[in-house]
Structure 1
Amino acid sequence: MSNSSSTVNEAAAPASAIIVGAGILGAATALFLAREGVAVRIVERQHAGWGASGRNAGYISMITRSGGPQLELANLSRSLYSQLAEELDDFEFQPNGALVYYYEEQLPLIEGFVKKRQEDGLPMEIVSGDRARELCPLLPEDVVGGIHSKSDCYLHPGKLVDALMNAAIKLGAELIDADVTELVVEDGRCVGVRTARTDIRADVVAVTAGSWTAAILEKAGLPFNVLHMRMQMAETAPIEERFNVAAYGPSLFHEYAFVRELPGYDDDIVLHPLQHIMPEVGLLELICQRADGRLWLGCPIEFVDGPDASPDPTVAGMAQTFGVLGDHVPALQHIPVERTWGGIAPQTGDGLPVMSDVPSVPGLFVGSGHAYGATVGPGSARVLADIILGRVPGLDASPFRYDRPAITEGMARSVSLG
């Protein structure tokens, strides 16, 4: 297996490119390529941001990225977000950090968790219960403290995709409404895509189709092993209280393997009784506030059979969202719920996405497997665009190569959210 072939594309920069899928990664890759003078066409069968990119919570969750490649990619993306917030149309960028609120029973875990995260280079501090309530006035008096992770932020994912697409189109990128049925491969090289109406050709093709990437690649005989997760959200009516941090509850700790390995961790101190009743549902236990005062609540996660499973919220998912948050934060209990929704996101077996060429098919590139696409979308797009352009990316891209066992040889269910 060659690492170098999946880290740098040594061919000359292409004059034209097709991007399959107009989510955060596809739209940002299109923008970065268009800025370099590449003629870009983005092919999307629904509308920009239709999949998980437009349906997630919009959390830029630095606090949940494990040390190593995950965090390195998140750091790159976080730095790009600050630039994009100045350059693009408004996408409700809130760079004020995340607050993980906790109760007395979680105290044995907190100090070790914060020490670990500080050792990984994340700026964070433990704050008092009073300070936690200043940061998020919805929190009850029995919250004894919080972890303020200062590099976290959040945004409106749908507005982000629109802003990226608008910027790319202004530079000449073209958005094509079509369903890609297969890749066009001639003499071993990918030269375009086939739709129901016509073939579209270009120097290179990048598949950034989220959970639908596997179906496109497998039709060309290329394995792409991922799991699929239904991620669900709810939105309330506007409220008068205002806050601008991303808030997490203690259920968050259960969802990440590196946290479960820390001293002081115990399922019994972080899981709500409802989660013991419904063990097949994971919960990130989050609250954020939109610019119009509405709250977004979530985020229950359920593994599903494939990308075409219903994205609609389930009874179990909403029961945990409203039950756990309603218990932990009683101020939420009587706020009207205006809508719920869900989306299907891909999860790789090793928790790392793919941003890579496909060594066996020149001209073909892949950017997919992002279970946490909002967090690392711009960074992933920067890496993928650099590889397409024949440049060395700003971080070591070898952990994200396509030709690694977790992607090509099958996998067991991941034990940690990516």
Structure 2
Amino acid sequence: MSGRGPDVVVIGAGIIGAAGAWFATRAGLRVTVLDRGPLAGGTSGRGEGNLLVSDKEPGPELDLALLSRRVWREDLGEHAGLWEFDEKGGLVVAATDASAAGLAELTRRQRAAGVDAVDVGADELPAYEPQLAPGLRGGAFYPGDAQVQPMLAVAHLLRLARDGGAEVRTGVEVTGLLRDGDRVTGVRTDRGDIPAGNVVNAAGPWAGSVAELAGVRLPVLPRRGFVLVTEPLPPTVRHKVYAAEYVGDVASADAALQTSPVVESTESGTVLIGSSRERVGFDGSLSLPALKRLAANAVALFPALAGVRALRAYHGFRPYCPDHLPVIGPDPRAPGLWHAGGHEGAGIGLAAGTGLLLAQALTGATPALGLAPFAPERFDEGDPAP
């Protein structure tokens, strides 16, 4: 670690950077967080705040999700009220016999991996969600699925990190990396150089550009998604509810517009309606076709929403990796550079585990999960098949 400056500079004041900063500070490291914009000014401020295990196939991402769920509940449990932690549970519904069978097979494999998943018959669905459309063929309930208010989570995690001695600087743009041979020894910014023992790239959908500053390739791409927000309603949706097809859509590598119904209420009474995904670069223009499909999908799932007004719509750019796994850990191609990104739409939920793993690895402790599946150099021989 460097004798000058902080032990760690974190590039990015979103949920991944915030969690990494808090855990690293808690582990005794001197941390500086930098962002060219405001706190949660990118992806983290434009999502739904989901903490899910239900949408993940058994494998490294589910392992990370289970770790993260434990960390949100235990390591961060005393602060849960700060970010409106709500373990509302998730209900996945199937519209056809084929999708119901596929969902049952998924829950079987998830239970074998340690997930609490309850198969729900078609006649049992109204007990979970009385206003669901009739004719659905079955579902699955995940009592551990939860939600947080993501902007509050970012703000409070960074405040807690500051209370522990971290420095958080917004409006500071990283323009380059300091080097000593191949080793990264800090960052160059528009406000001056900051030497550091390690640099963590937590720049979300811009992580690829940060990696380029070190001359390494990281194929993180933006994937645009929209969310509709309704007017406040009487209790309409009890859980996070989504169609079984959502799992496959999230795992798809298709660049074209895809939508699948995802509906949930917030504490204020508004209903959040998703989800869409498409790879259009950083095009932030409003897409009426996407919004129309979101609305139609939601009404098909909850007919009572048909006469409800939408107050607004917003979008975010989710950091997409070709193999749908995040990038976490040191980059052997540029020693001193670490990556924490590529979580796509699961970043809020996976942030807690990611932050813990980073802090453990940075301090030389054995990480709670092996980092090999998330290694940044795995893309050197070409992007893996999705």
TM-score w.r.t. the length of structure 1 is 0.84
Select between 208-217 and 126-135 the one with higher mean Cα deviation: 126-135
**Superimposed CA distance per residue, residues 391-411 of structure 1 (whole angstroms, 9 cap, x where no aligned partner):** 11011111111111x3x3442
User: Residues 69-80 of structure 1 correspond to what in structure 2 (within 5 A)?
Assistant: 69-80=60-71
Superposition deviation, residue 226 in structure 1: 2.4
Displacement of 1:170 in angstroms is: 1.4
- The RMSD of aligned alpha carbons is 2.4
Q: Check if 1:304 corresponds to 2:291.
A: no
Mean Cα displacement is larger for which, 114-123 or 295-304?
Answer: 114-123
Shift of 1:257: 5.4
Instruction: Give 5+ residue unaligned stretches, structure 2.
Output: none
TM-superposed CA distance for 1:202, in Å, is 1.7
Q: Deviations over 1:173-209 (max 9, x none)?
A: 1111201111111233212111112112222111110
Partner residue in 1 for 2:333: 360
Partner of 2:141: 148
Q: Determine if the alignment matches structure 1 residue 391 to structure 2 residue 384.
A: no
Greater displacement, 73-82 / 137-146: 137-146
Q: 1:381 and 2:381 equivalent?
A: no
Letter in 1 for 2:318: A
Letter in 2 for 1:164: L
Evaluate the alpha carbon distance shift between residue 230 and residue 395 of structure 1 in structure 2; reply closer, same or farther with a 3 A threshold: same
Deviation string, structure 1 residues 280-322 (Cα, Å, up to 9, x no partner):
22224211111111111101001123xxx13344122212201
Gaps of 5+ in 1: 1-8, 259-277
User: What's the counterpart of residue 239 of structure 2?
Assistant: 245
| 2:27–2:359 contact (8 Å) kept in structure 1 | no
Distance 1:360 1:111, change over 3 A: closer
Task: Evaluate the alpha carbon distance shift between residue 313 and residue 149 of structure 1 in structure 2; reply closer, same or farther with a 3 A threshold.
Answer: farther
Q: Is the 8 A contact 1:190 1:364 kept in 2?
A: yes
Pick which of 144-153 and 203-212 moved more.
Answer: 144-153
Q: Shift in Å at residue 46 of structure 1?
A: 0.8
Whether 1:182 aligns to 2:176 is yes
| CA deviation vs aligned residue, 1:22-44 (integer Å, no higher than 9, x gap) | 11110001001111222211001
Q: Does 1:18 align with 2:18?
A: no
Which residue identity is paired with 2:149? H
**Residue 214 in structure 1 maps to residue 187 in structure 2:** no
Match of 1:294 among 270, 273, 290: 270
**1:98-137 to 2 correspondence within 5 Å?**
98-105=90-97, 106-129=99-122, 131-137=124-130
Note if contact 1:225-1:410 (Cα within 8 Å) is conserved in structure 2.
no
Residue number in structure 1 paired with 2:258: 282
Distance 2:100 2:179 in 1: 57
On the 8 A contact 2:199/2:336 being kept in 1, the answer is: yes
1:30 and 1:321 mapped to 2: Cα distance? 35
2:118 aligned partner, one-letter code? E
Q: How does 1:22-171 map to 2 (within 5 A)?
A: 22-83=13-74, 84-87=76-79, 89-105=81-97, 106-129=99-122, 131-171=124-164
Tell me: CA distance 1:362–1:79, structure 2 relative to 1, closer, same or farther (3 Å).
Answer: same
Counterpart among 245, 249, 265 of residue 255 in structure 1: 249
Which residue pairs with 2:185 in the alignment? 191
The DSSP-based 3-state class of the residue aligned with 2:40 is: coil
Q: Structure 1 residues 104, 350: closer, same or farther in 2, change over 3 A? A: closer
Letter in 1 for 2:41: W
What code does the residue aligned with 1:319 have?
A: K
Q: Deviations 1:322-378 (Å, cap 9, x if unpaired)?
A: 111122321111111111111111211222111111113222211111112122111
Q: Distance in 1 between matches of 2:6 and 2:251?
A: 43
Which 10-residue stretch deviates more, 20-29 or 211-220? 211-220
Amino acid of the structure 2 residue aligned with 1:59: N
In the alignment, the residues of structure 1 paired with residue 34 and residue 306 of structure 2 have an alpha-carbon distance, to the nearest angstrom, of 43
1:88·1:163 contact (CA, 8 Å) conserved in 2?
A: no
Distance 1:365 1:199 in 2: 18
Cα deviation 1:35-89 (Å, max 9, x = unaligned): 1222211001111111112211212221121212111111110101112242355
